[in-house]
Amino acid sequence: PSSGRLQWSTRLSFILAATGSAIGLGNIWKFPYITGENGGGAFVLVYLACILVIGIPLMMAEIMIGRRGQQSPPNAMASLAKEAGSNSLWKIVGWAGVIAGFLILSFYTVIAGWSVSYISVAADTTFVGKSPAEIGSMFESMLNDPTRLLTWSTLVILVTLFIVGKGVKSGLEKAVNILMPCLLVLIIVMVGYAMTTGHFMQGVSFLFNPDFSKLSGESMLIALGHAFFTLSLASGAIMTYGSYLPKSVSIAKTTIYIGIVDTAVALLAGLAIFPIVFANNLEPSAGPGLIFVTLPIAFGQMPFGTIVGILFFIMLSIAALTSAISMIEPSVARLVERFKISRFKACTLLGFSLWLLSVGSALSFNLWKEEKLFGKTFFDMVDHLTANLMMPLGGLAIAIFSAWIINKKVSQEELGLGKGVMYNIWLFTMRFITPICIVIVFLNALNII
């Protein structure tokens, strides 16, 4: 470990950065729309179970590997494998994470671009007095406007790379510390509005009343994948941030805090959105446009809706930015480590390929709609490849690595769970429960069991 490495100055700065990575479009955009597509309650229940038995213990493992390894994910994995007398091929798992993070970023910046674009749409009071159908076609017309899509996603990429190029620490902590609580307040305001729609209980019941007949094997895999996505796991992000974490911090406590906050934000977003869906006779399964139609309807109707709408899309864009930063950081860390180039140079190199991928993703929402490859758009494919394949498999490997390969002494020392019951629960979960659950969900989704 070189002394020139970045390090978070305090426990709080790590918590803020990791929370900023976790909370993002996954909670507010993706969670509601996949919940709507997969039938509600039962899906949410599987998702919550995955957070508890897979996500949280795995996040502890990833932070531990990062902090112990003190390098980018591939090298951290390799050096811990070496320390344990195992094979250096474990670095492949680290690589898979870095690549998954990069791939996700290619569409993440596009959705963040939608959010940025909607700041000005809200500011033009465009939502006021519009019918749900008009607001729906507003969203469609954005998808039909490649210049607009590319302008905003390019801007998001430039801002992300600029911040990362300067070193992730500066500004990030403040943004998260001040703006995340504001975002939370705004979501609670939206939940308040949802309560006035007369369909609040219908929304609550959609989210929390499980109807298991709606739960397919594929839905379970999507719920599992989303547990990884929302906690930024198996993507290099948390492992890399962990490598900047000082030794004195308790990994266990920090992880539980992040898990709770992230889950709360997602559930609140669901509580805000589904009552609006039902009050306006919209389809819960409308897909990726869900929040860009439902929330503007609310902004158009509620008192101070224009200002709330502007603030909401600003906060959402910043939440997306702090997540995007954490997705590219592992690639940057790896390039800097490997080629001894500056962070800025690494960002420039990554920027162009990222931009090309994001162009494909931006245009795929509409231009390619008619000629889907294998029945899916480019966005669908990247999303499925990462969240439903690379992340669960990466998570499986990380669970096995942290509980079977790494020496127990090391994990006892690092995790901050002591050596008693809590540690043993973690170890048992990582050794048996997490791997078995992931394998069962996979086999079930493939209709093998």
Residue 160 interacting with ligand PHE (CB under 6 A): no
Of residues 314 through 353, those in contact with ligand PHE by CB under 6 A are 323, 326-327
Residues, the chain:
449
Displacement of CA 244 from its chain's centroid (Å): 20
Q: How far is CA 323 from CA 19, 270, 318, 437, 440, in A?
A: 9, 20, 9, 27, 30
Contact flags string 228-247 toward Na ion, x per CB under 5 A: --x-----------------
Q: Which of 260/449 has CB closer to ligand PHE? A: 260
Closest among 48, 69, 50 to 58, alpha carbons compared: 50
Tell me: does residue 183 bind Na ion (CB under 5 A).
no
Rounded to the nearest whole angstrom, what is the least distance from the CB of residue 396 to ligand PHE in the complex?
Answer: 17
183 binds ligand PHE (CB under 6 A): no
Q: How many whole angstroms separate alpha carbon 320 and alpha carbon 313?
A: 10
Site for ligand PHE in 22-51 (CB under 6 A): 22, 24-27
Contacts of 213 (CB under 8 A, 6+ apart): none
| Per CB under 6 A, 104 contacts ligand PHE | yes
DSSP codes joined into one string, 36-58: HHTTSHHHHHHHHHHIIIIIHHH
184-210 burial, b at 16+ Cβ within 10 Å, e below that, comes to bebbebbbebbbebebbebbbebbeeb
Q: Is 21 a binder of Na ion (CB under 5 A)? A: no
411 binds Na ion (CB under 5 A): no
- Binding ligand PHE (rule: CB under 6 A), the pick from 235, 263, 331, 364 is 235
Nearer to ligand PHE, 169 or 431 (CB): 169
- Among the listed ranges 17-25, 138-146, 370-378, 427-435, the one in contact with ligand PHE (CB under 6 A) is 17-25
CB of 424 to ligand PHE, least distance (A): 29
Answer for which of 15, 17, 22, 239 binds Na ion (CB under 5 A) is 22
Which of 62/262 has CB closer to Na ion?
A: 262
In angstroms, the CA 354 to CA 102 distance is 8
End-to-end CA distance of the chain: 46
Partner in contact with 113, chosen from ligand PHE, Na ion, none, beta carbon below 5 to 8 Å by kind: none
**Binding footprint of ligand PHE on the chain (CB under 6 A):** 21-22, 24-27, 101, 104, 229-230, 232, 235, 237, 323, 326-327
